[in-house]
Amino acid sequence: KAGVTQTPRYLIKTRGQQVTLSCSPISGHRSVSWYQQTPGQGLQFLFEYFSETQRNKGNFPGRFSGRQFSNSRSEMNVSTLELGDSALYLCASSFRRGTGELFFGEGSRLTVL
């Protein structure tokens, strides 16, 4: 059974650019969550999608957005990149929201220069 797949794994952007990250959840999982992780900050929750609808949102500016498609695949977008957006972006999927086991992808490491 394939795990959560994230692409791209690594990317380098410059300030002001935008970036789109992709996530394919485990087959059968309809809940997809996104997290940002920076050294010393722990996992910061960005948002969660379920059945193509954003269900929960963390405390991030509107530059961070996402969407989910009918096949449960999800994308997140960050516009007008800032240096502080450099981080590991993690996607996770679960079968049952909030109670089921949450599985993470390998992450997309974004560096903003």
Partner 1 sequence: QKEVEQNSGPLSVPEGAIASLNCTYSDRVSQSFFWYRQYSGKSPELIMSIYSNGDKEDGRFTAQLNKASQYVSLLIRDSQPSDSATYLCAFGRTYKYIFGTGTRLKVLA
Binding site residues, partner 1, CB under 8 A: 33, 42-43, 45, 48, 55-56, 88, 90, 97-107
Edge-first strand listing for the sheet containing 64-68 = 5-7, 19-24, 74-78, 64-68
Closer to partner 1 at the Cβ: 52 or 101?
A: 101
Cβ at position 2, least distance to partner 1 in Å: 15
Closer to partner 1 at the Cβ: 42 or 84?
A: 42
What is the C-alpha to C-alpha distance for residues 79 and 97, in angstroms, rounded to an integer? 28
What is the C-alpha to C-alpha distance for residues 48 and 53, in angstroms, rounded to an integer? 8
Closer to partner 1 at the Cβ: 56 or 86?
A: 56
* Contact of 58 with 28, CB cutoff 8 Å: no
